[in-house]
Amino acid sequence: QAGYAKFETFPIWDLPLDHPVNMAYEAATADLDDVNMIDHFHLAAYGTRAVNYNRDLEVFPLLSALLEKLTGSCPYKSPTDMGVNMVGSCISNDDVCREAAKQEVIRRYFKALVEEKRAGTDSHESDHIAIIMGKLGIDRNYRPVVRPALEIERKTKNPGSAIELQDGTIVTGKTSALLGPSAAMLLNALKLLAGIPPKMHLLAPESIEPIQKLKTEHLGSRNPRLHTDEVLIALSVSANTNEYARRALEQLQALQGCDVHTTTILGSVDEGIFRNLGINVTCEPKYWRKGVYQKR
């Protein structure tokens, strides 16, 4: 006889409603208007509080009636009943999970702000997540890389970026005539990880200038500064003859899981590079120049 059940990861039914992990789920689904709620069907049937969300609760009477019509009876007394979820039992360090969840909420907040800026929509989604942040007692500056990036922008009057390495060290990057802030930050981080002196140039200006010329004179780009993908390609070419470049390139894997914040919205290429490196990126909801809606 056929039946129905589902794997349900979030929200975690046997964690408190206000646990940061469950609140991170609500932040992640703010675009769907999901709201975590106590499963009143489960409470009535078993006297046990279980966490579920609005859409599951709304559709349960319909699903229950459908199962009853198809199979003759409904085996479930609540939407929580029909979900297979043991995630709560897998948490070995609650403090680590709570902190990770708080950081995820902030990342979702910045993502919502950027999407609203790109689409020109209202702040409904980011407002929802801001309320969640308030309940958790955190704000945007709880993310360690936000203030350093903004400080670089304040000092230089140009876009800045910051990355937090695995040991908590913050490395920044500023805009220059040769490099965008994300590319500069990436090189600075690799130099630090490889034990290379900060003033040592991994890429000589004469190796950067031909790339800039190609971009502006032949590929139609208005921005001569190198982006992260171009810097990594140039670095890999230099690694054949430059010991420092080789050492820096070997540190790329150490960036996986690091956090980055930039003071302007990244283009799709830079976004893709950070994603491929396993770096968590957030951006301020503004473009470097007004009217910029292009990939780079």
3-state helix, strand, coil in the chain (%, to 5): 50, 10, 40
Mean pLDDT of 1-10: 83
Cα separation values, 11 from 27, 30, 52, 54, Å = 11, 13, 6, 11
* 36 DSSP β-pair partners: 53
Residue 64 clears pLDDT 60, i.e. is over it: yes
Q: Is the pLDDT of residue 295 over 50?
A: no
Which carries the bigger pLDDT value, residue 289 or residue 116? 116
Structure tokens at 275: 């994603």
Banded pLDDT at 290 (limits 50, 70, 90): low
Mean of pLDDT values over 153-167:
98
CB 16 within 8 A of CB 93: no
Q: What would the mean pLDDT of 240-265 be, rounded to a whole number?
A: 96
Domain 144-283 indexed as CATH 3.40.140.40: yes
pLDDT one-digit tens code per residue, 81-106: 999 899 999 999 999 999 999 999 99
Q: Report pLDDT digits (tens) over 183-239.
A: 999 999 999 999 999 889 898 777 788 888 888 888 888 888 888 999 999 999 888
| CATH architecture for residues 6-95 | Up-down Bundle (1.20)
pLDDT average, residue stretch 7-16: 94
On the question of pLDDT at 149 being above 80, the answer is: yes
pLDDT in tens, 270-279: 999 999 999 9
The ranges assigned to domains in the chain are: 6-95, 144-283
